[in-house]
Amino acid sequence: MKVLVIGLGGVTNGGKTTLAEKLKKMLPNCDIISQDDFFKPESEVETDERGFKLYDVLDALYMDEMVKSIHNWMKSRTCSAVVTEEPQNTRDSVKNTEDVYILIVEGFLLYNYEPLNELWNRRYFLTLPYEECKRRRSTRVYQPADTPGYFDGHVWPMYLKYKNELEENTSNIVYLDGTKPQEELLSCVYSDIIQELKKLREGSLMA
């Protein structure tokens, strides 16, 4: 069996989780691992001199456990093997791809951790402008809740820092405009993954 590991990263509130869940319904043999499930407990997350909990850094996450989970999935390749929702013309696209297992890994800090970078088949990064990101963030309820000034003082600076590191050091990332309609983003990423599936399958046939 072949596996396809897809990274769906990017800015907070960029639509990563929604996009991942929609893709899971459309793609055969597809599972999701979410980086948010690997946050350390609040008591283990560092606090800076301003009193901000430093959640938007790699040290706030059990990254080794996340890598282990992905490796375990790749070994077991267990999933439902059922396409639960098919848009028009999907049936022919996914035909003959049932021998490939797909894992979508979604999160805000996927590509700045070296042990993960050797696993990706495709990488996507959702972006948002400052005002839109701040607006979306303000409508969400977090536990613990964002303190006054937290977005401007920690969340947005950390996003820019890691995004700049990516742009300087990493290639082969597809950047997606998170202000575009969800259906447009879904169509773009879905079509791209289908092409990857076909390449994988053709490669296995030629091997």
| Dihedral (CA of 72, 125, 110, 43) sign | negative
Distances, alpha carbon 188 to alpha carbons 19, 55, 180, in Å: 11, 31, 11
How many angstroms separate the CA atoms of 181 and 144, rounded? 30
Convert 9-77 into a string of H (helix), E (strand) and C (coil): EECCCCCHHHHHHHHHHHCCCEEEEEHHHHECCHHHCCECCCCCECCCCHHHECHHHHHHHHHHHHHHC
Catalytic-labelled residue, pool 36, 37, 48, 59: 36
| Dihedral (CA of 196, 198, 204, 207) sign | negative
- Is residue 36 flagged as an active site residue? yes
Catalytic machinery residues: 36
